Structure 1
Amino acid sequence: MEKVIKLHDKRFRVMIPAAKIDEAVGVVAARINADYRQKGVPLFIGVLNGAFMFLSDLIKKIEFDCEISFVKLASYCGTCSTGEVRSLIGLNNPIEGRHVVIVEDIVDTGESIEHMVRELEAMHPASIRVCTLFFKPGSYSKHIPIDYRALEIGNEFIVGYGLDYDQLGRNLKDVYVVTE
Structure 2
Amino acid sequence: MDVSWVDGERRRVTRICDALRIRIEGVARAMTSDQSARTLSAESADVPDGAYSGDIEAVLITEEQIQQRIAELAESVAARYADAEDDLVLVGVLKGAIMFMTDFARALPIPSQMEFMAVSSYGSSTSTSGVVRILKDLDRDIAGRDVLIVEDIIDSGLTLSWLMKNLATRHPRSLQVCTLLRKPEAVRNIVEVADVGFDIPNDFVVGYGLDYAERYRDLPYIGRLRPAVYER
8 A Cα contact 2:78 2:109, kept in partner: yes
Residue 171 (str. 1) matches residue 218 (str. 2) = yes
Task: Give structure 2 stretches of 5+ with no counterpart.
Answer: 1-44, 228-232
Q: Which residue of the partner structure matches residue 66 of structure 1?
A: 112
Deviation of 1:179 after TM superposition, in Å, equals 3.4
Structure index of larger Rg = 2
Give the superposed CA RMSD: 2.0
8 A Cα contact 1:37 1:63, kept in partner: no
Q: Which residue of the partner structure matches residue 42 of structure 1?
A: 88
Structure 1 residue ranges, 4+ long, deviating more than 4 angstroms after superposition: 4-7
Residue 3 (str. 1) matches residue 47 (str. 2) = yes
TM-score (structure 1 length as normaliser): 0.91
Q: What is the distance in 2 between the residues matched to 1:42 and 1:2?
A: 38
1:117 to 133, 155, 164: 164
Task: Give structure 1 stretches of 5+ with no counterpart.
Answer: none
Q: What is the distance in 2 between the residues matched to 1:50 and 1:80?
A: 16
Amino acid at match of 2:155: D
More helix per residue: 1 or 2?
Answer: 2
Q: Residues 25 and 18 (structure 1 numbering): CA distance in 2 closer, same or farther, change over 3 Å?
A: same
8 A Cα contact 2:148 2:176, kept in partner: yes
Q: How many residues align?
A: 178
Q: What is the distance in 1 between the residues matched to 2:169 and 2:90?
A: 17
Q: Which residue of the partner structure matches residue 20 of structure 2?
A: none
Deviation of 1:169 after TM superposition, in Å, equals 0.4
1:127 to 162, 165, 174: 174
TM-score (structure 2 length as normaliser): 0.72
Per-residue CA deviation, residues 56-108 of structure 1 (Å, 9 max, x unaligned), is: 00001111122110000112332222222221001121111111000000011
8 A Cα contact 2:56 2:223, kept in partner: no
